[in-house]
Structure 1
């Protein structure tokens, strides 16, 4: 019989949050992130090195005997909350969570060791909108080489190794140097997508693709909710702060009853999102009712994160519409996240199947 999970943050988790927030305050200030999105190098390599190398967070989910931290998804969720708050342009979710989970399923100690030491960034070569259990595109495996084109691969431009599913049912490790990575226009400028073209690229077989992909995408969807939580919390907090300062008719705008009601409703939704995101992280850590918890979290997270960012944009008035204000980064991340690893509708359908509440 399972016990009720404790979804409150532990002292260790709060200490981790404080350390990550301090690091991101130094590396990912809003003007710097905006300037980076306008350059040819959207990823913040210095921030990634500090997070992954100095703090050792790239190996958070990797066992200690392989050089990792041997922590759980709860700690990874705290990191993602802070990355969401900063819309940090680092490949944490794609490499340290999704690709890592696929490699854990395959049991590839060599690559896991490289990820844990932060010398390698990996990306699962699936379109970012692929949901766990959903269909995904594969490449052709012929005479020991891989041929084909994969689109919508998040953070592929930052990856050293790509994990590529092939038509023989295998998952292959392919060096980024052996493929052509072509950046594509992306709504979320802080998590760029690319097309990966394989023209006879050599690959090393890691294991069966299907279970590895399913595990990776489930963890990605579950922990994405924590990123969406961090994003929603930042937009709500900043909006409240701004409305206390902004004056109209010689009184703070935040004093108007209609705006108080909108913010109170949003606060309730963000609190509920925190509960759903924490439940998903705890379920991933304890492997109890994981599919249900992840489906619930993603059914709820995307609409709340998008609404929080939209409200922030509107309630900041004219300044919210400017490129200099960072709220547009949060709205674009929220919109892109609402499609990542399955839409809310996709997860609601999955949830209906899981709890036997199908439509008539």
Structure 2
């Protein structure tokens, strides 16, 4: 590993870690039943009810109380759809139900990023190469320097401002993520493939804009402007929340990155340890877990991305105990601390250096 925190592990330790985590995954997978199915159906019903309620309130959006209530309700609905439903359904977490309406191959989320492109950039690339420099495009999303191991350039001086803009427009950043623009510029990707992806993104953006910024505002008649403002606000708030949760799961504190050559001959146990060292959790209650899509359990999600999200809360204590057993860090902390730690990195690494490992988390 690039990191030194796993240097004490012997090959036998990695094998034992793989056996224990494989056994844990098999145990949970074998225990999935109607309780889990009822959970996701219940969340979807609540999400759709909240969206309908929010849209209904916005029919009177010229009244400040109705605007505030409608916008807040619509925002919650969009967060639930994006985080606990869309993200997790497209991971295949509910494919075991064999429900064609709640399946990774059929779900298209309320987001400008086409599902098939997101599944490639996220499920395939990110979850395979988690935090491997030059392989995982989610390390700084290609525009931010979040580690001492990343080369500094003068463009990074403005990255705190760039990160604010990325948060507000996060769904658009996610939408272009699978284009792999660095490879496009290097001529490594067929231009025809890039054009096809751009057309798909354009179609998705058009559908989303018509729904949120034209159709529903028109339904409110003379209150078009206030309903349009509500739709813009709900989408921006959803984007900021998703950005915050995802960044807090990947960049705070002592979360580590890895050199590409460490992939050579990587065993299952080494892959598991890379997920443990390259992820961070957010401590909190049931509401936080729900609204974060259970990505407050980012460590467990990286270990078992296709297990239903509602099971992470029961898996987490056992993963933490395994980390203690093998003297590995288990990165976790309250939301405010993780947000502060993430922003501290973004501001610090906007400037040159440090290049020594001891200063990685400064």
The question of a shared fold, defined as TM-score above 0.5 by the shorter chain, is answered with no
Structure 2 length normalisation: TM-score? 0.27
- Write 1 or 2 for the structure with the bigger share of strand: 1
Relative contact order, higher structure (CA 8 A, sep 6+)? 2
Query: Going by fraction, where is helix more abundant, 1 or 2?
Result: 2
